[in-house]
């Protein structure tokens, strides 16, 4: 039945497999790519008491990736508006800033927080921290001052680097993160009180190339040393910090390459020599997708990355045409907007070769449109903050053939489908909770052993996603067991928004659900019950939430019910019944 459904869906989007495709089975591709002496050769390593397959040729740590970047020399690394930063200039700034961090007392294991838009300074700060063994804490730049202060305090950050917009949100809350001893602010246009400018240490990106040539500070870093804390939504409504290692991030470089190699071999073509390309990065670097799955591989390959001040489809068209961008994506939202914007026909977008995404549900129709409109190869994958991004992936013909799948696991990863209570593994084709294992899975949650013990079991991460595996190992996400809404790649934990609504004096009952949205995947909407004799409008409650949480968490619609919300025998709200409030 699963095979028939897959074929029906592939036919529905108008795709017929070419003759002689696939030229090789996925197992044959794996045998070729992972053979002894090949780039994707594997070896077994003991990681926290569990024997796991790892990429034998993965860089040992992020210092090695920085040195790879230095080797690309005069090749352009980042383009941002009228700023163009070469790899050599980037490395000079990284090394200078790394020494400054040490001079400010940052030692191995200390936390350095990074809160800013996608700017050329972002990869400078990130690598200045991790190459001296500090733990980089990329904070969500969309967060409110309260949320940013929580991240700083929870992580015990010692040094903060941010842009002026983030500093404006934080500067009056310094008592909430007294752990921070030093702050650097970049691109400040107003006098700073209690912070230094980043430019006073390394200058502006246009000046990086004139910095003295400097080596990185000498620090020993092991693959399993702590490298990052990326925050994800938590069960209490406050984020949880996923503690990643150097191995986690380095694994992604070869995982992405492995998936690309499989696509070529499945087509029956020889593996090509790697060629540097230009990509448009439109999702925030504080996400593991952009940082771990994107930035690391781009540096290793010597690719050029183009950043935008903020996402705008027409500006993206201009950049693609001007810079001959070959790839972009990140989340389905981006792909939909590129496809459907009426200005698209006015630009030469023929350089686009691939549009890949993950992080949010994608309609199979999107796969067909990418191929039809751009003539580009679509790609999709699955991962989460707790897996430092890539676990599964497929592209090109494989994705067209299974447009409702997120692909099979990479060679170093394992998947299994477990019963609701986690006591038994379910047979092929049955839907249950997806568990994942591999060298990309993080150590646990920062300062949260209870949540870590509940989520990480003997090397496996319990993902909270409901899924099934087909007979060839392809994964199909059916739903999320966790009460999570993903809006354009941004996680919204329902209880966090519900708790804010409950704080309103007129609200006595509230629930948040996700409404399907073609571009964003889904959007948050709330159903509330007001206390007798009390009044509140949709706009008033939206403003109430906006004052307390990041804007992407604000419900786009709020429906009111005269009765309390429907519940089951255990008192849990029956959220599946709430979508009827928004049917038109």
**What is the pLDDT at residue 57?**
98
**Stretch 302-317: mean pLDDT, rounded?**
95
pLDDT in tens, 319-351: 999 999 999 987 777 787 888 888 999 999 999
pLDDT, mean over the chain: 92
pLDDT in tens, 196-216: 999 999 999 999 999 999 999
Question: What band does 564 get if pLDDT is binned at 50, 70 and 90?
Answer: confident
- The alpha carbon torsion through 139, 141, 145, 146 (nearest 10 deg) reads -50
Q: Percentage of the chain surpassing pLDDT 90?
A: 75
Span of 184-198, 216-230, 235-249, 330-344 with lowest mean pLDDT: 330-344
Strand-pairing partners, residue 281, are 307
pLDDT in tens, 397-432: 999 899 889 999 999 999 999 998 999 999 999 999
pLDDT in tens, 83-111: 999 999 999 999 999 999 999 999 999 99
**Stretch 425-447: mean pLDDT, rounded?**
97
**What is the pLDDT at residue 3?**
43
**Stretch 257-273: mean pLDDT, rounded?**
94
pLDDT top residue among 131 and 465: 131
Report how far residue 374's alpha carbon sits from residue 380's, in angstroms, rounded to the nearest whole number: 16
**What is the pLDDT at residue 539?**
97
Question: What band does 375 get if pLDDT is binned at 50, 70 and 90?
Answer: confident
**What is the pLDDT at residue 237?**
63
**What is the pLDDT at residue 2?**
40
User: What is the 3 state secondary structure string of 119-138?
Assistant: CCHHHHHHHHHHCCCCEEEE
pLDDT in tens, 72-88: 999 999 999 999 999 99
Question: What band does 572 get if pLDDT is binned at 50, 70 and 90?
Answer: low
Nearest by Cα to 67 from 27, 101, 48, 94: 94
Biggest CA pair distance of the chain: 75
Report how far residue 298's alpha carbon sits from residue 315's, in angstroms, rounded to the nearest whole number: 22
Domains and CATH numbers, the chain: 2-58+242-480 (3.40.50.12780), 63-221 (3.40.50.980), 485-582 (3.30.300.30)
């Amino acid at each position: 039945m699963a095979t028939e459904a897959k074929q029906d869906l592939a036919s529905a989007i108008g795709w017929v497999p070419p003759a002689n495709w696939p030229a090789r089975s996925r197992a044959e591709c794996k045998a070729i790519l992972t053979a002894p002496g090949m780039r994707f050769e594997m070896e077994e390593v003991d990681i926290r008491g569990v024997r796991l397959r790892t990429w034998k040729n993965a860089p040992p740590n992020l210092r090695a990736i920085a040195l790879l970047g230095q080797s690309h020399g005069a090749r352009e690394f980042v383009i941002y508006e009228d700023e163009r930063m070469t790899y050599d200039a980037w490395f000079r700034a990284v090394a200078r800033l790394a020494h400054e961090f040490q001079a400010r007392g940052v030692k191995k294991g200390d936390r350095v927080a990074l809160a800013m838009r996608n700017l050329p300074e972002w990869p400078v700060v990130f690598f200045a921290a991790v190459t001296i063994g500090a733990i980089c804490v990329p904070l969500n730049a969309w967060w409110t001052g309260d949320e940013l202060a929580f991240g700083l305090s929870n992580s015990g950050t010692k040094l903060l680097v941010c842009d002026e917009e983030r500093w404006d949100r934080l500067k009056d809350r310094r008592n909430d993160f007294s752990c921070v001893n030093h702050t650097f602010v970049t691109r400040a246009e107003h006098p700073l009180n209690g912070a230094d400018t980043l430019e006073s240490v390394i200058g502006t990106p246009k000046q990086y190339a004139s910095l003295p040539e400097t080596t990185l500070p000498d620090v020993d870093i092991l693959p399993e040393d702590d490298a990052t804390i990326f925050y994800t939504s938590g069960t209490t409504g406050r984020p949880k910090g996923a503690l990643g290692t150097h191995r986690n991030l380095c694994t992604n470089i070869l995982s992405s390459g492995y998936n690309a190699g499989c696509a070529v071999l499945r087509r029956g073509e020889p593996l090509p020599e790697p060629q540097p390309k230009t990509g448009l990065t439109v999702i925030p670097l504080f996400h593991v997708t952009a940082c771990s799955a994107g930035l690391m591989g781009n540096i290793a390959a010597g690719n050029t990355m183009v950043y935008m001040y903020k996402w705008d489809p027409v500006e993206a068209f201009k950049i693609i045409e001007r810079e001959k961008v070959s790839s972009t994506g990140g989340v389905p939202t981006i792909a939909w907007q590129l496809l459907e914007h009426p200005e698209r026909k006015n630009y030469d977008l023929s350089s686009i070769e691939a549009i890949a995404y993950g992080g949010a549900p994608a309609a199979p129709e999107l796969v067909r449109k990418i191929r039809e409109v751009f003539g580009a190869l679509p790609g999709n994958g699955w991962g989460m903050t707790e897996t430092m991004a890539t676990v599964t992936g497929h592209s090109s013909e494989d994705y067209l053939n299974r447009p409702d799948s997120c692909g099979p696991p990479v060679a170093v990863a394992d998947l299994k489908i477990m019963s609701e209570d986690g006591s038994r593994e379910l047979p092929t084709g049955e839907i249950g909770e997806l568990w994942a294992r591999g060298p990309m899975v993080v150590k646990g949650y920062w300062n949260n052993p209870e949540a870590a013990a509940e989520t990480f079991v003997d090397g496996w991460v319990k993902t909270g996603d409901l899924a099934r595996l087909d007979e060839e190992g392809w994964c199909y996400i059916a739903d999320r067991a966790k009460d999570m809404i993903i809006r354009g790649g941004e996680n919204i934990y329902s209880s966090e928004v519900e708790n804010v609504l409950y704080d309103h004096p007129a609200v006595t009952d509230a629930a948040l659900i996700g409404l399907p949205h073609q571009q964003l995947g889904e959007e948050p909407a709330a159903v509330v019950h007001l206390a007798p004799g009390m009044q509140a409008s949709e706009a008033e409650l939206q403003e109430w939430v906006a004052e307390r949480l990041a804007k992407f968490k604000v419900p786009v619609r709020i429906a009111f019910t005269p009765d309390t919300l429907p519940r089951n025998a255990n008192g849990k709200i029956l959220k599946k019944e709430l979508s009827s409030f928004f049917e038109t």
